[in-house]
Amino acid sequence: MDYLVDIKDVSFNLDEYLNIDQLIRYPAFSSHTSELYHMVITEALKFSQKTLAPLNTSGDREGCKLEQGVVKIPHGFKEAYIDFAKNGFIGMDVPQTYGGQGLPVTITLAANEFIMGANYAFEMYPGLTRGAAHLIETFGSETLAKLFCEKMYLGQWSGTMCLTEPDAGSDVGNLRTQAKPLPDGTYAISGNKIFISAGDHDITENIIHLVLARVEGDQKGTKGISLFAVPKIWVNDDGSLGANNDVMCLGIEYKLGIKGSATCSLNFGEKGLCRGFLVGERSQGMKHMFKMMNEARIFVGLQGLAVSAASYQHALKYAGERSQFGKTLLQFPDVRRNLMICKSLTEGMRGLLYKVALIADVAKNETDPITKERAQNRIDLLTPICKAYCSDFGFRITEIVLQIFGGYGYTSEYPAEQYLRDVKISSIYEGTNGIQALDLVGRKLTKNGGQLFREFYEDVETSLQKIEKEKQLVEAAQKLRKGINTLGQVAMKFGEWGMNGNWDSPQFYATPFLEMCGHVVLSHVLLEQALLCIPKQNSEFHQNKIQTALFFCNEFLPLVSARAESIMQTNSKNKEVL
């Protein structure tokens, strides 16, 4: 399957909207140049198109198999992984201490749009490895970091994240996996984990599982959970490999999409011989894991964008080639509207995610405490929106795309159906989208007396004052102002319900509220971009950006008021029907 991407829009985001060269002002990036950033992006695109995309359909058809206790992954994945690691793509944004590249998050995110869009299932293997190694590097001792991280970033060993158990999905605090202190300072681990991505395979000589477990006697619930690094094959103090560490793959899931990614049930310590190293502080495992998960959630939103943007490009191409009634599909207004929905959503999501990545670079590198705090507040507020909105609307785009392909879209002759199947998981894992909505309404809206939302409101207002000076944008700007004010009113209503002890209603409406926020946030980003395009209207690309922003605001902002109406006029009785 070809990987198609709107490279002009990617470049517009990096160079014109975000001006990535500004990052070079930070000491961590002082040796970087604009040429380096463009070279990394170009190499990632080349690798994605030449090496990863050709394995996307075959990986889906072949899937993973468990044969005599060994997980077999699709042909070509192992070789691609070795090349991927050689190119330094695993630890792109992590410090260089243990083999990372020390690149900005913004560049890493843009490169990952190509990687994920070209082969989502493949990306799970390096993605999980990077996450696991980064957890060890951030919270583990120096000894542990030295033992594991370099080998993981350089592709010799891989990694997983093991949270989920049969009775502990969203409710991670209910986990049963146990850890027992041993005299040598390690822990005996025993328990079952399910749905573990990249849980077992023969790509690398060892797999380091990052496992959440409870040390015997520690508190129930999330507060008593600790984090452990559990190698599939034991690692001696000198880094050499020891004996098998009693980690067994009991089975793999046969599932809707990302079939090339092995989703495994793992048994730790069936023979009583599994050992792990404590990572970070005892009983702080959830805190450590959540810090990483918050970063990872932006990248899950990116999975939603990457796959749906690739599927939209295929639909656009197909609509220009397929004729019915003597016209191409592209000439039919209904098809054009559907394509415009896909185009405006993908450009809005790309703008949002790339911008949040830049804010993450600011939050990490800024020395001014006020700027740093404000950047972190913005990330905190936008993380659940990036994750849930981009994965939900990513899925909707792939559904529209399949429709544009008609009957051919339903068959596996074209890639539309695989994109749809693949992208769905991004709304489920890394905290379901329902849980993201609760995080937005329960934590982010209420944090510091509503400071996060207030700061966002101020920034939108500041940019609106510039946007509404442009005649072409004034109407859309007014719609955006109405949209953000409506969000404020609904947030106040949630607060009022809460004060009266009615916590049920804000939870009932958390998901539509997140969707409303997404419409407003994307409109803001697209109008900021449109404003930049006003003086460049002699280019067709910039003209189209303005029209796309206006289309999105007209299509999606009215939905904010409509949703608000249904929330405000709710009647508690109709919620009690089930």
Active site residues: 430
Q: Is 299 in the site for ligand FAD (CB under 6 A)?
A: no
Applying the rule CB under 6 A, the residues between 436 and 455 that interact with ligand FAD are 438
What Cα–Cα distance (Å) separates residue 491 from each residue in 169, 235, 308? 29, 51, 30
Q: Is 255 in the site for ligand FAD (CB under 6 A)?
A: yes
At residue 192, φ and ψ (nearest 5 deg) are -120, 130
Q: Is 162 in the site for ligand FAD (CB under 6 A)?
A: yes
Q: How near is the Cβ of 124 to ligand FAD at its closest, in Å? A: 8
Which residue number has the CB closest to ligand FAD? 169
Which are the contacts of 159, defined by CB distance < 8 A and separation ≥ 6? 128, 129, 130, 131, 132, 133, 152, 198, 207, 208, 209, 210
Q: How near is the Cβ of 170 to ligand FAD at its closest, in Å? A: 3
Q: Is 406 in the site for ligand FAD (CB under 6 A)?
A: no
d(CA 169, CA 176): 12
What Cα–Cα distance (Å) separates residue 262 from each residue in 20, 197, 434? 36, 6, 25
Q: Is 169 in the site for ligand FAD (CB under 6 A)?
A: yes
Among the residue ranges 129-137, 157-165, 282-290, 489-497, the one whose residues contact ligand FAD (CB under 6 A): 157-165
Residue 229: closest CA among 166, 169, 162: 162
Q: Is residue 291 classed exposed, middle or buried when 0-12, 13-18 and 19+ CB atoms within 10 A define those classes?
A: middle
Q: Is 498 in the site for ligand FAD (CB under 6 A)?
A: no
Q: Quick one: which of 283, 328, 432, 502 contacts ligand FAD (CB under 6 A)?
A: 432
Q: Is 421 in the site for ligand FAD (CB under 6 A)?
A: no
Q: Find tokens 């000439």 and name the residue.
A: 331
Q: Is 195 in the site for ligand FAD (CB under 6 A)?
A: yes
Among the residue ranges 173-181, 189-197, 391-399, 478-486, the one whose residues contact ligand FAD (CB under 6 A): 189-197
Q: Is 164 in the site for ligand FAD (CB under 6 A)?
A: yes
Q: Find tokens 């705090």 and name the residue.
A: 373
Q: Find tokens 């009022």 and name the residue.
A: 496
Among the residue ranges 42-50, 57-65, 191-199, 382-390, the one whose residues contact ligand FAD (CB under 6 A): 191-199
Residue 13: closest CA among 37, 49, 46: 37
Instruction: Look up residue 28 and give its DSSP letter.
Output: G
Per-residue contact flags (x/-) with ligand FAD for residues 456 to 475, judged by CB under 6 A: --------------------
Q: How near is the Cβ of 507 to ligand FAD at its closest, in Å? A: 7
Q: Is 420 in the site for ligand FAD (CB under 6 A)?
A: no
Q: How near is the Cβ of 47 to ligand FAD at its closest, in Å? A: 24
Q: Is 428 in the site for ligand FAD (CB under 6 A)?
A: yes
DSSP SS3 for 430? coil
Applying the rule CB under 6 A, the residues between 257 and 276 that interact with ligand FAD are 263
Nearest to ligand FAD of 119, 164 (CB atom): 164
Nearest to ligand FAD of 432, 554 (CB atom): 432
Beta carbons of 384 and 297 less than 8 angstroms apart: yes
Q: Quick one: which of 81, 114, 429, 509 contacts ligand FAD (CB under 6 A)?
A: 429
| Angular region, 258: left φ>0, alpha ψ -120 to 50, beta rest | left
Q: In this structure, which amino acid lies at residue 29?
A: F
Q: Quick one: which of 102, 434, 442, 498 contacts ligand FAD (CB under 6 A)?
A: 434
Applying the rule CB under 6 A, the residues between 86 and 115 that interact with ligand FAD are none
Q: How near is the Cβ of 438 to ligand FAD at its closest, in Å? A: 6
Q: Quick one: which of 103, 132, 161, 349 contacts ligand FAD (CB under 6 A)?
A: 161
Output the six-digit token pair for 323. 């004729």
Q: How near is the Cβ of 275 to ligand FAD at its closest, in Å? A: 20
Q: Is 358 in the site for ligand FAD (CB under 6 A)?
A: no
Q: How near is the Cβ of 258 to ligand FAD at its closest, in Å? A: 6
Nearest to ligand FAD of 12, 195 (CB atom): 195
d(CA 464, CA 334): 32
Q: How near is the Cβ of 285 to ligand FAD at its closest, in Å? A: 13
Nearest to ligand FAD of 116, 460 (CB atom): 116
d(CA 318, CA 329): 8
Q: Is 435 in the site for ligand FAD (CB under 6 A)?
A: yes
Nearest to ligand FAD of 150, 165 (CB atom): 165
Q: Quick one: which of 425, 480, 525, 550 contacts ligand FAD (CB under 6 A)?
A: 425
What Cα–Cα distance (Å) separates residue 39 from each residue in 143, 155, 211, 354? 34, 22, 37, 18
E-strand spans in 123-205? 157-162, 178-181, 187-197
d(CA 410, CA 420): 10
> Do you know the residue count of the chain?
578
Which are the contacts of 556, defined by CB distance < 8 A and separation ≥ 6? 519, 522, 523
Nearest to ligand FAD of 135, 553 (CB atom): 135
DSSP structure string for 68-101: TTEEEPPTTHHHHHHHHHHTT-TTTTS-GGGT--
d(CA 143, CA 1): 44
Q: Is 49 in the site for ligand FAD (CB under 6 A)?
A: no
* Dihedral sign from CA coordinates of 322, 327, 331, 334: negative
Q: How near is the Cβ of 198 to ligand FAD at its closest, in Å? A: 7
Among the residue ranges 102-110, 173-181, 267-275, 422-430, the one whose residues contact ligand FAD (CB under 6 A): 422-430
Per-residue contact flags (x/-) with ligand FAD for residues 70 to 89, judged by CB under 6 A: --------------------
Which residues are near ligand FAD by CB under 6 A? Answer: 161-164, 169-170, 195-197, 255, 263, 425, 428-429, 432, 434-435, 438
